[in-house]
């Protein structure tokens, strides 16, 4: 009764969750999407990951944002905020829950501008406009600094104060432009083109104060960004506050977090340069003089030596040295000769002691048979046999008569 039909398919929970995940992975309608909703239960855990929900009147969607993306957020998300979350839908297999894996979160209301910002950024990046290889070097000591900003804002005053303190004699040129509104983009691009064509400055600071994304939008316009990238004079971008990033920041040769910081990057401190120059000049002046004095002292020392002032003294000195060497050599040769003579005498005495004649002279004799053989014992000679006896002074013949009385 409870037996399953032969055609029945048995799937595990993991099989189902994995299958649904694979379906979602290939569904392009659920990848790279912006989801509008209100944040609920937003919490960042010790791991750095953020977990929250997006809800509207009709439902709720669970979301997760991993730590590397949380660190890139430009604001602090809070419950109740209306936002746009960008990401893809997938399944968390362990719990069988589908959720949005968020990569970006932006406050709703500026969503359209943000998407336009991202689209233009990707386009220009693909063209290589932001490449580091295209960046121009900021001159270490410019002769003139151009400032493209509003003449009525705080930016120009901050830049003037910093440069006036660091390098009071620096030539500063202001190019007045609107920094927001419909006139901002054409005025900024005209100023940059004029500077690029005339090269009337050595470096340019493009700046404005902080503001909303709408206030800073002129610096995200394609015409402005391209004018920055194409300018033949190096540009330091100082737009907004430290946390604000406009597309001109990416296109510029150097980004400064604030206009004041841009001024510090543009010029060195004059007093420090003057101090370094003074030290360098003193080294240039003293070094050759010091070397000359050292060489002169060495020359004077040589001149005062007896080898130079009294040449015969050196000759006599060397002669004495040779005589001493000769005496030492003679002593060594004499000692060697005495040792050699002593050794020869000793060898001679040894040879003399081994000479048979010397032995015979001491009273010994040698007995030979008539055939020349040496007699070493009495039994070697027969009775009546003649023998020759050699002594120290001659040889005589004898005949054996008896042996031991026989």
Q: What is the pTM of this model?
A: 0.50
Which tokens is 237 given?
């971008």
Query: Three-state DSSP class for 151?
Result: coil
CB 205 within 8 A of CB 146: yes
CB 214 within 8 A of CB 110: yes
CB 89 within 8 A of CB 103: no
pLDDT by residue (tens digit) across 320-364? 778 787 888 888 888 888 888 888 888 777 777 677 777 667 777
- For 236, residues 6+ apart whose C-beta sits below 8 A from its C-beta are 138, 203, 204, 205, 206, 252, 253, 254, 255, 256, 262, 265, 266
CB 104 within 8 A of CB 87: yes
| Distance (Å, whole) CA 175 – CA 148 | 5
pLDDT by residue (tens digit) across 236-269? 999 987 777 899 999 999 999 999 999 999 998 8
Max CA-CA distance within the chain? 165
Give the other-Cβ count within 10 Å of 246's Cβ: 25
pLDDT by residue (tens digit) across 264-306? 999 988 878 777 777 777 766 655 556 677 777 777 776 666 5
**Phi, psi for 301 (deg, rounded to 5):** -65, -40
Tens-level pLDDT at each residue, the chain (406 residues) = 567 776 778 888 888 888 888 888 888 899 999 999 999 999 999 999 999 999 988 899 999 999 999 998 877 888 888 899 999 999 998 888 999 999 999 888 666 677 788 889 999 999 999 999 999 999 988 999 999 999 998 999 999 999 999 988 999 999 999 999 999 999 999 999 999 999 999 999 999 988 877 889 999 999 999 999 999 999 999 998 777 789 999 999 999 999 999 999 999 888 787 777 777 777 666 555 566 777 777 777 766 665 565 666 667 777 777 878 788 888 888 888 888 888 888 877 777 767 777 766 777 777 878 777 877 777 777 887 888 887 777 777 887 787 555 4
Query: Three-state DSSP class for 86?
Result: strand
CB 48 within 8 A of CB 67: yes
* pLDDT, position 406: 47
| Distance (Å, whole) CA 115 – CA 186 | 23
| Distance (Å, whole) CA 68 – CA 73 | 10
* pLDDT, position 109: 67
| Distance (Å, whole) CA 241 – CA 154 | 13
- Count helices and strands (H / E) in the chain: 12, 13
Rounded to the nearest 10°, the torsion over CA 194, 200, 202, 206 is: -40
């Amino acid at each position: 009764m409870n037996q399953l039909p032969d055609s029945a398919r048995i799937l595990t929970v993991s099989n189902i969750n994995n299958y649904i995940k694979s379906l979602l992975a290939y569904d392009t309608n659920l990848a790279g999407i912006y989801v509008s909703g209100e944040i609920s239960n937003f919490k960042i855990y010790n791991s750095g990951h953020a977990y929250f929900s997006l809800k509207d009147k009709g439902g709720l969607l669970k979301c997760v944002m991993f730590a590397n993306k949380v660190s890139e957020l430009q604001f602090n998300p809070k419950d109740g905020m209306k936002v746009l979350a960008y990401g893809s839908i997938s399944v968390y297999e362990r719990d069988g829950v589908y959720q949005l894996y968020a990569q970006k979160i932006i406050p709703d209301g500026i969503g359209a501008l943000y998407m336009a910002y991202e689209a233009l950024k990707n386009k220009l990046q693909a063209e290589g406009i932001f490449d580091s290889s295209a960046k121009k070097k900021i001159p270490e000591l410019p002769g003139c600094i151009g400032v493209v900003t509003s003449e009525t804002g705080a930016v120009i005053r901050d830049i003037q104060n910093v440069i006036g303190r660091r390098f009071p004699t620096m030539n500063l040129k202001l190019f007045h432009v609107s920094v927001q509104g419909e006139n901002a983009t054409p005025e900024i691009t005209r100023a940059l083109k004029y500077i690029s064509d005339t090269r009337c400055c050595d470096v340019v600071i493009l700046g404005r104060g902080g503001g909303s994304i709408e206030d800073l939008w002129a610096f995200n316009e394609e015409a402005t960004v391209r004018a920055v990238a194409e300018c033949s004079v190096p540009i330091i971008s100082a737009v907004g506050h430290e946390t604000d990033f406009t597309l001109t920041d990416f296109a510029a040769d150097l980004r400064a977090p604030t206009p004041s910081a841009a001024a510090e990057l543009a010029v060195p401190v004059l007093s420090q340069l003057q101090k370094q120059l003074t030290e360098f000049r003193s080294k240039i002046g003293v070094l050759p003089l010091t070397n000359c004095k050292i060489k002169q002292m060495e020359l004077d020392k040589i001149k005062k030596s007896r080898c130079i002032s009294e040449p015969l003294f050196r000759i006599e000195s060397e002669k004495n040295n040779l005589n001493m060497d000769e005496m030492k050599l003679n002593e060594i040769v004499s000692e060697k000769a005495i040792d050699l003579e002593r050794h020869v005498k000793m060898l001679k005495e040894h040879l003399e002691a081994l000479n048979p004649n010397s032995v015979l002279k001491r009273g010994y004799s040698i007995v030979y048979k008539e055939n020349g053989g040496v007699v070493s014992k009495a039994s070697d000679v027969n009775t009546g046999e003649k023998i020759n006896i050699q002594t120290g002074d001659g040889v005589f013949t004898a005949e054996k008569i008896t042996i031991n009385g026989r």
